[in-house]
Structure 1
Amino acid sequence: MADTTGTAGATGTSDPAAAPSPARPVMVWIHGGSLIHGSNAVPVYDGTAFARDGVVLVSVNYRLGVEGFGVFPDAPANLGLRDQIAALVWVRENIAAFGGDPERVTVFGESAGAISIAALLASPLARGLFRRAVVQSGAPMALPLERARRTTEAVAKRLGVPATAEAFAAVDRERLLTAQTEVTAKGSPLTGSGHSFQIVVDGDVLPRDPAAALTGGGQDGAADRTSPGQVPKDAVGGPGVESAGVDLLMGTTTEEYRLWFVPSGLVERLSPLMLRLALWKTRVPSRTARVYRANRPQARPGEVLGALATDKLLRVPLNRWADARLRAGAAGRTYLYEFGWPSPVLGLGACHALELGFVFDTLDTPETEALTGPDAPRELAEAMHAAWVAFATDGAPGWRAWDAERPVMAFGPGRPATVSAPREEERSSWDA
């Protein structure tokens, strides 16, 4: 069962003698961490600002790594995702006692938390448990069972035990964690190589690949693909698009890749030859690569690869998802954003996870400041946090819903502003 912690402070009361007050919007936070790391107790995720602004915030823990996303013949799959669903059921049944409105529940998450939310949107077991969803820096993604089983089998081989839940349960926890870390150390989401723990298409929690279910594209989400979860460019949407009635807010940071490419030194050391090999290995269309290079004449090869990776894995799939909802005439509204304020710390720029301190309005925490530096713009945090609160309250974050002009709210650099079809030449090059 998920460890579900209300962090809303004094936003409501369960005292039946107290004067009644209007039920408040509820936000349920699902943390990221590659489905291996993370916790709802990270100080950046402190819910005080949400409580201050009239939201009942619930933060969820769920099983991670092999315990949450291992694939075994003698145990159900997607246990971590089942934990999230159990938490949402608890919210549905109990949040009124904390002053929350069970009819106004918004799930929001970042990275693996966002991937989880996409899976929840596609899961019949989560239907009706929330009204709105915020997807930050994650796209619909799942693996077929047999492919996902390879990671569990690799951990079992390193441990010298059968790849069964019974055998794993008998292994010392520290030894299990060590083996899990060693096996997943070289996994790459860009190439699909290496080992990682992923949400799986199990026929129960997820009958279909979320990328197909959420766009109306394809009939079978269990195909073994090089880039799992990539929303197909020819997704057409239609009456069968899952969760069409759920309001959706989603987006990315401008330079997601820099969180990994800068500390690892890849930005500096990637040569032109290595770039060409990486583009071939990851099946980036040659026309697309030419467009990105031409638009960045002074960029290093590592920066070009990073921009391509950011868009291939995140921006392009989210745009296709928004387009599919628009074509399908989804009842739920769709909004897109991009976080572009560049951190001065270590040249990280507008990297993955940088927006979190702004969304939670926790710029003063040491953990946020380690990523943003001491002079992050408070007015930007106020604007972004207010947009999330407004979306949870009435489904409108403060800018135009997705339409043919492709409006995107740019949170920095500078003042927030709506931009129509940013970097459209690059985005559309993936559809050629």
Structure 2
Amino acid sequence: MFAFNLLLAASLLFSADARPATTSSLAGSSSVTRVTPLGIAVGVLDPDGAYRFPVKYGSAARWQPSTVATSWGLPTGASTAAGLPLTCPQNDADPSTFTEDCLSLILYVPPSFNVVTAAPTLVWIHGGSFIVGSATDPGLDGSKLALATNSIVAVIQYRLGTLGFMAPNNQTNLGLKDTVTALKFLRTVLPSFGGSPSKITLAGQSSGASAIRALLGTPSAASLFRSAILQSDTMDYGFLGTSTQATLVSSFAAELGCGSSSSCLNALPLYKILNAENDLINNAAGLDAAAGSVEPIRPVLDGTFLTSPLDSTAPFPSVSKPILVTTVLNEAGPAIYGASSLTANTLSADTFQLVCEGGFGDVRAAAILNSPFYVVSGTDARVQLQTLGTDQVWRCPSWTFSRAWVQNGGTAFVGQFVVGSTYPANAGLPFCAQAGVVCHQDDIMIVFGTAPNPTSAQATLITQMQAHYKAFLASGNPNAAGVPAWTAAGTSDVHPLVLGGSGEVAVAACTPTFWGVMPTYDYQVFNE
């Protein structure tokens, strides 16, 4: 499995979704207080105009479920309200920047809000392949987004990697359950900031969107939010099966060397856990092909917390929440053009064929190579490989998911970004710097309005997207006066809106009769 995605692995894990240097603090002054049921909340005026409140929303012992905070407290790493939280532990980060006591969030609140406002809240779940990232990643300052959408924006952190998803004591989905803890905390405190507990929309990008999809398949979380926005979800991978999860946990636990001793597990230094995590990521595909090489640490379909795969491998449940599902034009660009084996070389048509056959197997490769969608027409087949990766991992499974969502009672709006703002992780890739190219993560600073020195096209799209999001947060429908009409998806035609252009996206390979039928998705091939 995922031989094709080996071309994606290095970039998706350590470039496109990798965490650039975070910001330990932001300038802030003019402190403000709010009285909450959990105590006095102290915030500061963010440079971009909203009040910013950092807070610890929960706590958890190592490899145990988190519990909701019972008092308002500053995050670890923030000595005053002007400070920001340390991140959750993750590889390739300075240990001084992270802590296990990391269950924190940052609230961005418009100054005009008071306790009777009853505004909606956007809860952002960061990406990072479930192994890196934080609430302080570049571009995630929610001040401008809060002001533009007349909402509260909450950016949350959750346990990552093996600490969040590979517990040796067989606890499952701890990082995902942390997001539920954060939602419960927010429902308690939002009225104190002018927010309505019944008007919460989840939003996230990449693995953050995958986490939201998992929460959509978690019945116990259904009452905690009313709508969802999924940006660039890697839906092709699906969730881990229980036997794959058990295999990975067994290998990880063996390297830790503690057996079932809780005292030994609790005494392990973080560096040893992170080293074992890194080994697990590198070896996962060899341990069980269903894990894959790109995002082997991810939510598990455990049947108790996460109960539905929300794909074509099991009956799709009845649904009702409105969702907004987007991708970007060149999702696979960082992986294909950032891969060390391809950076300085073109890719011949013959090699393209070999890559397809090696990655998909003969049957799926034949369907791809005999289709009209990926015909090599130039001297460099990386063009077709990038399109293929974008279609397989992101665009087509997102459309398949959206059609299923509508078929089973929900409302979906689908779009594709053709204008973006280069994310710091993509800044060193010439491909992503080209005009007209929008790489994975390049939608983040458009949505948040944090694009540096935006061009006219970027500024226009920022205004449009924030107007769409404002309408969606308020009503579950992104249509608003003065912005392009967004047609809801149907059961066969998802009506994907061009975001940053005009009209609808050409269907191409994302027709209902190709991906998922002729060449199957990875979750179909490796479902357990």
TM-score normalised by length of structure 1: 0.81
Distance 1:24 1:157 in 2: 49
Within the candidate set 473, 484, 487, 1:400 is matched to: 487
| Equivalent position to 2:304, from 182, 204, 208 | 204
2:219 aligns with 124
C-alpha separation between the residues in 2 aligned to 1:158 and 1:76? 18
Q: Residues 270-419 of structure 1: matches in 2 within 5 Å?
A: 270-280=347-357, 281-283=359-361, 284-291=364-371, 296-298=376-378, 300-328=380-408, 330=409, 332-341=410-419, 346-348=430-432, 349-364=437-452, 377-398=458-479, 399-403=486-490, 404-412=492-500, 416-419=501-504
**Structure 2 counterpart of 1:258:** 333
Residue by residue over 1:83-126, the C-alpha shift from the partner in whole angstroms, topping out at 9 and shown as x without a partner, is 00111122223211111122221000111100000000010110
Out of 159, 162, 182, the position equivalent to 1:63 is: 159
Distance across 2 between alignment mates of 1:333 and 1:154: 41
Change (3 A) 1:166 1:145: farther
**Percent identity of equivalent pairs:** 24
Question: Quick check: 2:328–2:418 contact (8 Å CA) kept in 1?
Answer: yes
Secondary structure class of the residue paired with 1:128: helix
Gaps of 5+ in 2: 1-57, 59-102, 480-485, 519-528
Counterpart selection for 1:179 from 266, 276, 281: 276
Q: Give, in whole Å, the separation in 2 of the partners of 1:419 and 1:278.
A: 31
Given that 1:23 and 1:100 are in contact with CA atoms closer than 8 Å, whether structure 2 keeps it comes out as yes
Residue aligned with 1:407, SS: coil
Q: Secondary structure at the match of 2:370?
A: helix
Q: Tell me if structure 1 keeps the 8 A contact 2:248–2:284.
A: no
Following TM superposition, by how much is the alpha carbon of 1:285 offset from its aligned partner in structure 2, in angstroms?
4.3
Aligned residue pairs, count: 388
Alignment of 1:141-220 (within 5 A): 141-162=238-259, 167-185=264-282, 192-194=291-293, 196-211=296-311, 218=314
- Superposed CA offset, 1:238-290 (max 9, x none): xx33xx21000002111111122222245444554543333223243423333
Moved more, 98-107 or 157-166: 157-166
Q: 1:25 to 1:425 in 2, by over 3 A?
A: closer
- Could you list the runs of 4 or more consecutive aligned residues of structure 1 that deviate by over 6 angstroms after TM superposition? 186-191, 373-376
Runs of 5+ unmatched residues, structure 1: 15-19, 220-236
Across the aligned residues of Structure 1 and Structure 2, the Cα RMSD in angstroms comes to: 2.9
Q: Is the 8 A contact 2:413 2:494 kept in 1?
A: no
Describe the SS at the equivalent of 1:107. Answer: strand
Matched-pair contact (CA < 8 Å) for 2:417–2:438: yes
Q: Indicate if the aligned counterparts of 1:104 and 1:392 stay in contact, CA closer than 8 A.
A: yes
Distance in 1 separating the partners of 2:374 and 2:497: 25
Match of 1:127, SS state, is helix
Residue 38 of structure 1, CA deviation: 0.3
Show CA shifts across 1:326-359 (max 9, x none): 333x1x3210010123659611131111100001
1:47 aligns with 2:47: no
Distance (Å, rounded) in 2 between the aligned partners of 1:314 and 1:406 = 15
Q: Deviations over 1:372-418 (max 9, x none)?
A: x9887221222222222221122221211112443111123xxx323
